[in-house]
Amino acid sequence: MKVPTGKIPLPRPTALSRPHWDGCREGTLRVQRCRDCQTLVFIPQPCCGNCLSERLEWVDSSGRGTIYSYTTVYRPQQPVFETPYTVVIVELEEGWHMLSNLLGVAPDDVRIGAEVEVDFHAMSDEITLPYFKLRSAS
Amino acid sequence: MKTPYPDVAIVGAYNTVQAKQLPQWTEPSLVLDAIRGALADAGLTPDDVDGVNVSTWVSQLSSRTVAQWFGGRPAWTGTSHPGIEAVLEAAAAIQSGQAETVVIATAQCGAYTERESTVVWTRPENEFVECWGLYTAAEFALMAQRHMHLYGTKREALSEVASAIRMNGAKNPEAVHFGREVSPREVEASRMVADPFRLLDCCITSEGGAAMVLTTKQRAKDLDVTPIQVLGGALDRQGMSYVTAPLWHRYGWVGRRAFELTCQQAGITHKDIDFAELYDPFSFEIIRQLEAFGFCKEGEGGDFVMDGRIRIDGEFPVATNGGIMSYSHAGVVQLLQKPLNAVLQLQGRLVPELTLHEPRIAIATNGGSGALFCDVMALGKEVA
Ligand SMILES: [Zn+2]
């Protein structure tokens, strides 16, 4: 798939999630980390999912990971999404997971375990989305 | 039979008309038809009711409003969503003496008008989900795909599940897809929706209503019905549906704890359960639940469903009315229709082609792995 050109629904950042979206706009994938037990927390929440500590900080992820699972979608959520498009769960190197879309891979060629990296695309003045693409051999 | 609710009986069960669309109905009129139908089924009148749990999704009808419809007499009101949680809540209210006769009802119509998009209750609004084009089918597909990767679950197993359930609906005159027989080959030939799910792997959308009446076992003795017992039940909730990534290793076995607690309460094991009204949003979800509940080993659900085992004449029938793949899927109403159909099947009230031979114990489920919740309950029929 390619980056959507139509008006797809974009995130409306909250006080809690804004650091993540600010990071995307600045070209860095950010995730919360617990200062007490080092657990990574995503999606953003007010406390650590392991120890309930509220002492969370935002840290930078490498943006590299592998495909944990995927589905190529032929019936779109809304017509503005051009089909087919591939939804992936990415397992980041640091061990956390996020949903995204995989760019530039034909549906038949998507594989669980494939190595991917974040690929930022500005969708509006405020929102840059963290898509993923296959990691180039380097 | 063992149960935490020994003094409680389900005595009324009623489905309104179900159809792809019911333009001549409103949700309140469907709810009233369902309530009247369930009370008539029990041989009770509105005067007998001292507890209500009614809610609807589109018109936002509440139990307090419906208590007013019953003349505003004092009544217990339930706060759980329609479905297993509402049945368990009502049973607890009756067992503890808060109410004698409770009616649970819900209906849904008029929700799905913009057919270019997926049905509105399947679409997430969360900022980490919506922009990727996710919706219910894609969420459950992410689970299925991981399972297929880990265990080698085959396409044929998905097709067999969808065909088995749709064939039940084809035999059910009350089903939205009555008469529409579907073979595994046809499932496999239907168009792709969200890999691995093809169109016929997915549930339908429709409109309709349903109601259930519970009362005391004492009161049930005066009624001309086969009382059905609530043998137990529990809720597994693992977070908000359609917000976090549906990770197999964290959410794949949702419902296992609820199933085990249900069996402990009821004092039953797998071999005691005659059939299962399992939540059937997508073919794979049946395979997942059978594994999660331990009817087979992890990863062996695909083999378990083959050779007709879950078909109506098989060893362990599931979704015996055609489920939400063929009978009806009116949004939240299906949550109540799962235990409700277990009642009808235990009472021997489905058409002969779908009636099992003297079933005694059933389970019903609401929710699955893509939704990150799974509620389970067991129902039973006293045998003399
Ligand atoms: Zn912590």
Nearest to A76 among B127, B133, B142 (CB): B133
Among A61-75, B55-69, B147-161, B224-238, the least confident range:
B55-69
Percent of chain B with pLDDT over 90: 90
Span A115-128, average pLDDT = 97
- Cis peptide bond N-terminal to B196, omega within 30: yes
Per DSSP, which regions of chain B are E strands?
8-15, 51-54, 76-77, 102-108, 192-194, 197-198, 208-216, 228-237, 275-277, 361-366, 373-381
Q: What are phi and psi of A39, to 5 degrees?
A: -65, 140
User: Residue B310, by phi and psi: left (phi above 0), alpha (psi -120 to 50) or beta?
Assistant: alpha
Q: Exposed, middle or buried by CB within 10 Å (0-12, 13-18, 19+), for B337? A: buried
Which positions in chain A touch B205 (Cβ < 8 Å)?
A: none
How near does any CA of chain B get to the CA of A16, in Å? Answer: 12
How near does any CA of chain A get to the CA of B172, in Å? Answer: 29
A112:B146 CB<8 A: yes
| Domain range list for chain A | 13-60, 62-138
User: Residues A12-23: pLDDT tens digits?
Assistant: 999 999 999 999
User: Residues A15-46: pLDDT tens digits?
Assistant: 999 999 999 999 999 999 999 999 999 999 99
User: Residue B76, by phi and psi: left (phi above 0), alpha (psi -120 to 50) or beta?
Assistant: beta
- Cis peptide bond N-terminal to A84, omega within 30: yes
Rounded CA gap, B339 and B355, in Å? Answer: 16
Q: Is the Cβ–Cβ distance between B34 and B211 less than 8 Å?
A: yes
What is the pLDDT at residue B121? 67
CATH code assigned to A62-138: 2.40.50.840
The DSSP symbol for B80 reads S
Helix, coil or strand: residue B341: helix
The rounded radius of gyration (Å) of the Cα atoms in chain B is 19
Q: Does A108 touch chain B (CB under 8 A)?
A: no
Q: Does A75 touch chain B (CB under 8 A)?
A: yes
Residue of A90, A91, A85 lying closest to A71 (CA atoms): A85
Q: Does B121 touch chain A (CB under 8 A)?
A: no
In 3-state terms, chain A is what percent helix, strand and coil (to 5)?
10, 40, 55
What is the pLDDT at residue A137? 59
What lies within 8 Å, CB to CB, of B89 at 6+ separation is B53, B78, B79, B80
What is the pLDDT at residue B247? 94
pTM > 0.90: yes or no: yes
Which of B114, B122, B128 should one mutate to test binding to chain A, selecting the residue with the greatest count of A CBs within 10 A? B128
Adjacency order of strands within the sheet including B373-381: B76-77, B51-54, B102-108, B208-216, B8-15, B228-237, B373-381, B361-366, B275-277
Q: Which domains does chain B have, with CATH numbers?
A: 8-113+208-220 (3.40.47.10), 124-204+229-380 (3.40.47.10)
B133:A8 CB<8 A: yes
pLDDT at B362 over 90: yes
Whose structure tokens read 């935490």? B4
User: Residues B114-130: pLDDT tens digits?
Assistant: 667 777 766 677 899 99
Distance B280 CA to ligand 1 centre (A): 37
Q: What angle do CA A23, A28, A33 make, to 5 degrees?
A: 75
| Cβ neighbours around B300 below 10 Å, total | 15
Structure tokens at A31: 């995730």
Distance A40 CA to ligand 1 centre (A): 8
Percent of chain B with pLDDT over 70: 98
Q: What angle do CA B2, B4, B8 make, to 5 degrees?
A: 95
Rounded to an integer, what is the distance from CA B159 to the centroid of its chain? 21
Residue of B361, B369, B192 lying closest to B267 (CA atoms): B361
How near does any CA of chain B get to the CA of A22, in Å? Answer: 14
User: Please, which residues bridge with residue B232 across strands?
Assistant: B378
pLDDT at A136 over 90: no
Span B8-12, average pLDDT = 98
Q: Exposed, middle or buried by CB within 10 Å (0-12, 13-18, 19+), for B77? A: middle
Residue type, B97: G
B248:A43 CB<8 A: no
What is the pLDDT at residue A42? 95
User: Between β-strands B102-108 and B51-54, what pairing exists: parallel, antiparallel or unpaired?
Assistant: parallel
User: Residues B306-331: pLDDT tens digits?
Assistant: 999 999 999 999 999 999 999 999 99
Helix, coil or strand: residue B307: coil
Which of A73, A81, A108, A120 should one mutate to test binding to chain B, selecting the residue with the greatest count of B CBs within 10 A? A73
